[in-house]
Structure formats: C-alpha cells, structure tokens
Amino acid sequence: MNGSGPLHAPGTNGNGNGEFSTGGTGGAEIPGGAAYPSANGHATSANGTAPANGTVVAGGAAPERGAGSHRDLRAGEGVEPGEVRVFVADSASQEAALIADTLRRARLVDGVPWSRMAVLVRSAAVQTPPLRRALLAAGVPVIIGGDEVPLIEEPAVRPLMTLLRVALRPHTLDEGTAEELLTGPLGGTDMIGVRRLRRALRTAEERASRDADMLPLPPRSAGELLVAALKDRRELLTVEPETARPAERLAALIELVKDRTKRGGSAEEVLWEVWQASGLADRWTEASLAGGSRGAQADRDLDAVVALFDQVARFVDRLPGAGPEVFLDDLVAQEIAGDTLAERAPDGDAVRVLTAHRSKGLEWDVVVVAGVQEGLWPDLRLRGSLLGVEELIELAAGQDPDNPEVTSATLTSKLLAEERRLFYVAATRARKKLVVTAVGGEDTDERPSRFLEELAPGEVEPAGLDERQRWLSLPSLVAELRSTVVDAARPEPVRRAAAAHLARLARAGVRGAHPSEWYALTPLSDDSALTWPDGIVRISPSAVENFTKCGLRWLLETAVGATSSDVVRHLGTVIHAIAALAATEPQSDEALDKRLDDIWENLDFGGVWFNKRQREVAGQMVKRFLAWHRENPRELVKVEEAFTAELPGNILIKGRVDRVERDGEGRAFVVDIKTGGTKPREGELDRHPQLGVYQLAALLGAFQRHGMTEPGGASLVQVGKAAGTTDSAKEQKQGALGDDGDPGWARELVETVATGMSSGTFRATVNDGCRTCAVRSSCPVNDQGNHVV
C-alpha cells in the first residue's frame, strides 16, 4: 500500500460502532462511517452483537456525536424493558452498602445467580480494593482478575511490604504506620488494644520522669511512644505482657528483617523468614477451611501471598545481587500487577468485579457501575505520549501551532468523548438491570459525574432505603428485630415474634442477637472509683482547667494519651524554649532568630510550604514576646520553674510555670505564655482555673525558696492569634487572690476537682473546645461520638 489511495472500495461492507470504540492508542482515531461515504455500514455492539436489553437500559448514555446523531435506543418488539436506577450516596461506606444490598436482593429475591452479576469500575487500583472488602464483609462472593489490582494493594501483601519498609527505612515509621501495623494481621490487635498500649506507654514514661529535677525535653506524644516501642523493644519492658504482646511481635519481626538483611539475605529469604515467623499461614489456612465470607477472604489472602513469592522469586532470578530494598521499590513502582494479556475465565458462582475496559464483549443480567465520580469518570487528564503524537495529529489536521490552548481544548474534548463512550460501554453490559452509583454528600468533597444526568435526566435518587425497610443483611435484620423488641409502641404479638426470631438467631451464633451482647443491657465492667498511685491525687493547674471544662475529655486524654497535633505541640515547645532563652541569656533579635532557625531544622511540619508558613508564624510570636518582655515592669525570678504544693486530703499540686516574677510589693506573680488562637473573655479572668491554681500553689509555699509566700496575681501572655494584629503580646491579668471577694475559691475548686478525679463517673460537658477536642469521636454528647467499648 503506497498510502496515496483510499482505504476502501465502493460497495465494501463494514461492521463497526463508534459508540463502543474506546482505548485509542498512538493517536489513532475512529472517524466513523462518515469518513467512508461509499461503504455500507452496519452498527454492532462491542462483542459483535447488540446487547439484548443493554441498549434499552442505557439509551440516555449514548455518546453525543452532534445533536441527534447517535442512535435512539429502544426495546425491540417482545423485549422486556430493563430497569435503570441511579443513586448518589452520602459517603463511600453508604455506597458500598447500597451495592452489596443490590446484589444480595438480586440473588435472594430475584434468584439471579452470583455469576450473572457484575460490578464495573473506572480504576482498578483505586476502587477495587475497598469495594472488594465491603462486598466480602456483606457476604457477597466476588471474583477479581489477578491483574486487576496491583500486588502491593492486596490486603495480605500490604502489611508485609509495610513491615519491610519500616525495617529497612526506619524514618518512614510514623504514628499512622504504627497503628496500621498493630491493627493489621501482623499485629493482631484492634484500636482498643492500641489505646491500651498508648496508655501503658504514657504511664511508664511519666513514672520514669516523675522525680526528674531538670528542664525536661519536649514530652513525647502517645504516637511517638508507640513508634519508639516498635523501634526498640526495651520501651516495652515495664508494660504488662498482655498489653505489650502485639507491639513485641512486630518489633521482633522488624528486628528479624534488619538482622537477615545485614547477613546478606536475599529478598526471597527475608520474606520467607518473616512469613514463617508471623504465623499467618496457620491462621489463614484454618480460616480458609472454615468457609464462609472469612474463608473466602483467607483464600484470597493466601493466593496473594503465593503471587508475592512468585514475584520475588522472579525478581531474584532477574537481579540476583539486588537486596530486599530494591525489591520493595520494584513492587511499589508497579501500577499493573498482571503479567499476562489473556483474560482468564472466571470460576465459581461469584460476582465479577472488573474495570469498564475489560467488560467489553461481556454481559450480565445485573450490572452495577460503581464510583462514577467527577474527576475519575470522566478522567480528563491529558495522556500525551512521549513523541506527542496526539499534538502532531492536531497540527496535521490544520490546528494553529501558535495556539497551544486550542490544541489542548481539542484534545480535552476528544478525551471527554472517549470517556463518554467508555461509560456507554459499561452501561450497556446489563441485560435486565443497571444500577449506577456515586458519592456526593454534603460532608464529602466528592461530586457525582456529569454522566449521571446524561444517563437518567432528573431521575438521580439519594441512596437511602426508599421503599426498602432495611439493608438486606444479617446485621440489619438483627438491628430491626432488636428495635422491634424494645419498642413499647409496637403490638405485643409483633414484639414476641421478633424476640423469637432473635432467640433463633442467637442459638445459631449470630453476633448481636443475644441480649448479653446489647450495649444498653451490658453492665459496667468496672464501676469502682478511679484509683491513684499511693492514694495521692496529683493535679496540675492545666488539668484543673481541663477537668472543669469537661471531665470526660480529661479522663480520655489522660488515660488514652490523646494529644493535640504535632504541629501545635512542636510550635508551642519552640516558642517556650526561645522565650526562656531570651529571658535568661539576653541576645539581639537577629541572634534569637538564628537560634530559631537552628531549632527549626530538627522539626518536621510536613510540606515545604507549610513548614515555611509555620516558621513565619513562629517568628511573629517571638517578636511579640520580646516586645512584651522588654516593657514588662516586674522582676523576673525564674523561667520554667517546677513546683509542688500539698493540700490536706492527699492532694498534690504539681506543675511547671513559664515565668515566676516578683511584683513591686515583693509578691509572687506567675506568667503563662499562650501560643494558641483562642483566649478567655475578660469576664472569665477573675476566676480562671489555671491562673487561680498557680496563685494557690504560691500561697501554699511553692515559691518560698525565692522568698515569696504571697501571690500577687497571675497572667496569660498571648503571643499567637489571640494577640490580634498587634506587634506586642496581649497580657490578660488575674488579680491577687487576697483581693478577691472570696479568697478561698481556688482552694475549693482544687478540692472539688480532686474529688471528681477520684470518682467513678465523668461527665461530658459541651463547651467552646468541643470543635477541636481530640476525643470527640468517643463523646456521647458530640454528633461524631460513638459508643465507647
């Protein structure tokens, strides 16, 4: 062929359908029958036959090739019209529940075999793993091609690779990774166990540093203690064995990887030793033999591990001198796990989960097209080739080379058409029923695709239960029966029938059916009062303030170790350190700024832009403090002063003040430097709990060694956002206790708080700090709160 003549002959018969053409490569275009004016065109589906009902249920989704140019799809004579429903869920979890419910109803109500149902997605790597987990958890058997999901994304492979990564690159082990490992199959615990471990580590550290009489290092957060325990098992020596066991197991595996790698072990040898030491083989084999949804997941996990060892064996054969770290990088870099182009035939009665691209030529009775989100479907990112073939084609077609914006717009338009055709392919895979889902709730940034309105204009439904009373699942049935049993407004025969059904389910071992498992009827595991070491209630001024605001928050933060973010904590520590330095070693502003830079290099604030912004914020705080410090008329006595004071009733006030000063009358004046963005109202200062306790401590002799036994007041020095736009800090003062109409209010407050801290009941109180509370997910008065097990 010399390229000068037409590529068709008059009268030639051609079969094709541009509406199903997707995946053009190398700049290839399918111009359609209009480019071959003398050819006889016959439209077919992607698999050579028009889908019987698929064309019916997807009529609105046909690709737009100009107004009215696409086929108006209608059911043929004698063909039952299919059902199309489009749902928008409030969250990804609600979407997954809807999909599982749709498939279960089709199986249990309509009698459709699992193998005649499919779930189609746009992106295998992003959408398939969470969807598979949700379906298996709902008891829906699924089949996923081995090359649909990258191997690194397999739930069984990911924890092994994460362990390998943190062992070879310890700096990558952070709090989130530690929690992921502990709650994964290698750690074998849950979040309750993690919280228990946090609390034990925090208690051990506090016990070790309780009597330290020196300027302390910045206290480690519960997350930092968790990370340290996995890096060094000695951190767990003082922790109860049962609590420490998951962390010890992981720490031992990490040490195993390090040791075997140092001795020159290959990636295959290191992984095999980790696999043998983990005990997962026996656990998953036992679950596999037990059957059910857990057995199906265990089968999948074992298959994934076999695939992993096949992969590492090939890697070692290919690169015999490369170590485990190179294999880790190689596996993480893979976006496509499969090494075969052949589509394997599905086995067993299960729902297929696959991408829309791989669905061409296939049909099912029930099809769910899941996760149709704007930005994902259509995906309008320009997929240019190395040689820029697409741009060359546009130039050859007469595009202005000096107007790249027009070229980009043209390519984007073609991409949109391609994505629309792909959606059309997915929608026409259904013979009888098509369900399309997306997420678009008010509390999410996700937005449904524009294709939903094209498919079913004005018929998009919220993913509620509509005419269904509940999700078609065992947990939902148990919940409905339990609700009926305790509803006094329901007829007695109905409640008795519900109780009988619950009894039957309980005998079958269904979780939650027996009343002994109902939270409302479960007695408290321990209703005794909180006990303190040595019977002494240790109180800090800040704890008094926190307990006064919300007793439950104080308990959970103290017991569990929940803290503010590292950013807030690090920033506050730095400012207090610079403030102490400026007070004890007077230096120029430039010298202090240089010291701030030196400290900043050792901190991690995340992204470069955020790090730069926080450095600017810190510099502004230091300037405000210095301006206030130089104008402060009181005499500085000590910075970072530790103190203790005792009250009758085994109450010990213990803390550390930022600055102890002496006023003009020789009285003790305590200053607390604040770096936050909120401040108390002026009317709240007279009875501010933290400042009042500072003054009470001074009255009890906390600063007697400095010759001061009478409090002259206290103040909060705001250097953060609470200072406003001024160049100097804002000082909020509390008058001397002796000048108050009730000088004993601070003492009474401490005694009341000590009694409350030693009780067995802690009240949750709504206050201004609820929005930023670190434990609001466990709070019964917060909308985000859940039952605390």
Res. 68 pLDDT band, cuts 50 70 90: very low
Least confident range of 102-116, 455-469, 691-705: 455-469
Rounded to whole angstroms, how far apart are CA atoms 482 and 470?
A: 13
pLDDT of residue 35: 38
pLDDT of residue 340: 39
Rounded to whole angstroms, how far apart are CA atoms 432 and 116?
A: 11
Half-sphere exposure in the Cβ direction for 509 (13 Å, CA): 0
Q: What is the pLDDT of residues 549-599, one digit of tens each?
A: 898 888 888 765 555 555 566 677 788 888 888 777 777 888 888 888 877
Res. 684 pLDDT band, cuts 50 70 90: confident
Rounded to whole angstroms, how far apart are CA atoms 166 and 152?
A: 15
- Please give the structure tokens belonging to residue 210: 């309780």
pLDDT of residue 667: 94
pLDDT of residue 143: 84
Residues 6+ apart with CB under 8 A from 407: 391, 394, 395, 399, 400
pLDDT of residue 349: 82
100-to-89, 113, 368, 511 alpha-carbon distances in Å: 13, 14, 10, 19
Least confident range of 469-473, 559-563, 626-630, 699-703: 559-563
Q: What is the pLDDT of residues 256-292, one digit of tens each?
A: 999 999 988 888 999 999 999 998 988 888 887 776 6
- The mean pLDDT value for 650-672 works out to 92
pLDDT at residue 58 greater than cutoff 90: no
Res. 357 pLDDT band, cuts 50 70 90: confident
User: What type of residue sits at position 481?
Assistant: L
Least confident range of 62-66, 304-308, 505-509: 62-66
Among 344, 768, 332, 751, which Cα is nearest to 553's? Answer: 768
- Residue, of 53 and 222, whose pLDDT is higher: 222
pLDDT at residue 85 greater than cutoff 60: yes
pLDDT at residue 440 greater than cutoff 70: yes
- Domains detected in the chain: 83-145+350-461 (3.40.50.300), 152-209+216-332 (1.10.486.10), 474-521 (no CATH), 533-778 (3.90.320)
pLDDT at residue 60 greater than cutoff 80: no
Rounded to whole angstroms, how far apart are CA atoms 353 and 143?
A: 6
Res. 199 pLDDT band, cuts 50 70 90: confident
Among 163, 126, 168, which Cα is nearest to 148's? Answer: 126
User: What type of residue sits at position 642?
Assistant: A
Q: What is the pLDDT of residues 587-616, one digit of tens each?
A: 788 888 888 887 777 666 666 777 788 888
DSSP letter at 724 equals T
pLDDT at residue 655 greater than cutoff 70: yes
- The mean pLDDT value for 317-322 works out to 85
pLDDT of residue 412: 72
Residues 536 and 758: beta-carbon distance below 8 Å: no
pLDDT of residue 570: 64
Angle at 356 between CA 355 and CA 362, to 5 degrees: 105
User: What type of residue sits at position 165?
Assistant: R
Among 167, 161, 226, 166, which Cα is nearest to 191's? Answer: 226
Q: What is the pLDDT of residues 753-764, one digit of tens each?
A: 999 988 888 888
> Torsion-angle region of residue 487: left (phi > 0), alpha (psi -120 to 50) or beta?
beta
Rounded to whole angstroms, how far apart are CA atoms 731 and 722?
A: 10
pLDDT of residue 722: 85
